[in-house]
Structure 1
Amino acid sequence: MAKDRTPDKSRATGGGSSRSGAGAGGRGKGGRTRPPTQVVAQQRPWGLIAAAIAVVVFAAAVITYAVIEVRKADASKVESIDEIAGAEVFDYEGGQHDDGPIEYPESPPVGGPHANMWADCTGTVYDVDIRHENAVHSLEHGAVWFTYDPDALSDAEIDTLAELVDGVSGRLMSPYEGLDSPISLQSWGEQLKVDSVDDERIKQFADLMTYKADSFPEPGATCERPDFLAAPLLESDDAAAPAESSAPAGADQTPAS
């Protein structure tokens, strides 16, 4: 007689436990729990973006300022002495040297006979009234000579004027006793007199006439004169000494047409 077959409860239970254990609670072999998967949210670099925007804004501001300044400079720039109101023009020939005191028709002089030694004009700011005959020789080399009445300008105004001269080759500056205006600028054959250091014509004249090759007799001549720089000759020395020789400064000077 055949035996009644019954399920093996222990086998069935064990099998079921194994299968249910693998599927419930994330348990694997040995009963260990798998760590939950962490999802990291991507963060936007807001700090870097803000910094980049700030740099762009700053650069735009700098460029805008530079463009405005260039346009202002271009607006005040002149191409001819005729564009500078009040500038006077004279015709002089160069090359006439005389080491004695010379009487000039203009004050300060703007050309004519002059001393053999030129005054250093490498952006030199003198604090003494240098000998005019030496300064005129510097004009012959293409320099612009800034002069001022020391009694008419304050120390701060003198410093402001000197900023346009100091270190700029082809320029020199000195006080000028008895000047009939607070400030006077000279190049070879040109002159401009103004009342204020803030007058824009000062810079216009200096920028136009410094080494302006078609307006002075000796283009390419040096402005360096270390011996004069070390021991400037003074106009007062001529006034104290009797004249040994003189030249008719007005003989080669005629008004420009």
Structure 2
Amino acid sequence: MAKKKTAEERRRRAAEMRAQRLKEERRKKILTISGVSLAAALVLGLLAFAIFMEIRSRNISGVEEYTVGSYAHVDVGQRVDYEQSPPVGGDHWAYWQNCGVYSEALTNEFAVHSLEHGAVWITYEPDLPQDEIDALDSLYSPGDYLVVSPYEGEMDAPIVASSWGRQVTAETADDQDLTRFVQRYERGTDVPEPGASCSGGVAETATEIDAALAEGEQVGGEGMSDESAEDTGGAEGTEESEETGGSEDTEGSEGSENTEDGSTDEE
């Protein structure tokens, strides 16, 4: 009788263990399925958001596109007659304008070089209301490939945003087409030198550059300060351009043709 009870107890315990094991396996399976489903939902959500943002950024009205022909380096001080105002590309000087916010007009030949690196240049009429200027300045964050400055030449609207080969106009800083243009073309890849630096170049305004040229001073190298723009790389930028700009200046001063991939600068 005792043996029979012992055998039944073993069978009962074995059955309980099997049931517990099956229960644990079901729990693990449910957790695995739930985790996979959650991950899939997250991926799909991110993908949907990316598609939405891409479609939204493409939905920009009024964008003018231009074919940029030559984009060689020319001698510093040699002025370029650009077809567009502000320019959207073309020949330029060997140094680029540091990305950032400026309160005075810039030198076209430096700013165009920044466009070549994938920057967007937002220009506005000097008499634009201060609240509008503040709103434009706020579009820039440190590290962005964005230049914001007043523009003293002719423009088709109070505000113009330019990237390499493209341009859009705006009446006010809150124009959604302006915002989408920046989202779409900032750090542009369809430029001659995508990913090249937007710091370590020049931070001086046009007035400072013109004064330096008039005095026969070196522009883009020693003797130039880096205090004109906000968040543009500071003194480090000047040192970098001194170290890397030598061979570029030589090529630029000879007006050399670009290589097949369009690269003429150190990235």
TM-score category, normalised to shorter length: 0.5 to 0.7
Query: Shift of the alpha carbon at 1:198?
Result: 1.5
**Does structure 2 retain, via aligned residues, the 8 Å contact 1:144–1:187?**
yes
How many residues get paired?
165
**Does structure 2 retain, via aligned residues, the 8 Å contact 1:77–1:204?**
no
Give the gaps of 5 or more residues in structure 2.
1-44, 215-252, 256-267
TM-score by length of 1: 0.57
TM-score by length of 2: 0.55
Query: Shift of the alpha carbon at 1:89?
Result: 0.4
**Does structure 2 retain, via aligned residues, the 8 Å contact 1:187–1:209?**
yes
**Does structure 1 retain, via aligned residues, the 8 Å contact 2:71–2:89?**
no
Selected match of 2:96 from 93, 118, 122? 118
Letter in 2 for 1:237: D
Aligned to 2:87: 109
The answer to whether structure 1 residue 237 and structure 2 residue 213 are counterparts is no
Q: 1:235 to 1:204 in 2, by over 3 A?
A: farther
Aligned to 2:5: none
Q: 1:75 to 1:172 in 2, by over 3 A?
A: closer
**Does structure 2 retain, via aligned residues, the 8 Å contact 1:78–1:208?**
no
Letter in 1 for 2:83: P
Query: Shift of the alpha carbon at 1:75?
Result: 7.1
The answer to whether structure 1 residue 220 and structure 2 residue 195 are counterparts is yes
Query: Shift of the alpha carbon at 1:237?
Result: 2.5
Aligned to 2:130: 155
**Does structure 2 retain, via aligned residues, the 8 Å contact 1:110–1:188?**
yes
Q: 1:103 to 1:235 in 2, by over 3 A?
A: farther
Find the aligned partners of 1:75 and 1:203 in 2 and give their Cα distance: 12
Give the gaps of 5 or more residues in structure 1.
1-66, 248-257
Q: 1:183 to 1:76 in 2, by over 3 A?
A: farther
Selected match of 1:145 from 121, 124, 137? 121
Taking only the aligned residue pairs, the percentage that are identical comes to: 38
Query: Shift of the alpha carbon at 1:159?
Result: 0.4
Query: Shift of the alpha carbon at 1:218?
Result: 0.2
**Does structure 2 retain, via aligned residues, the 8 Å contact 1:141–1:217?**
yes
Aligned to 1:176: 151
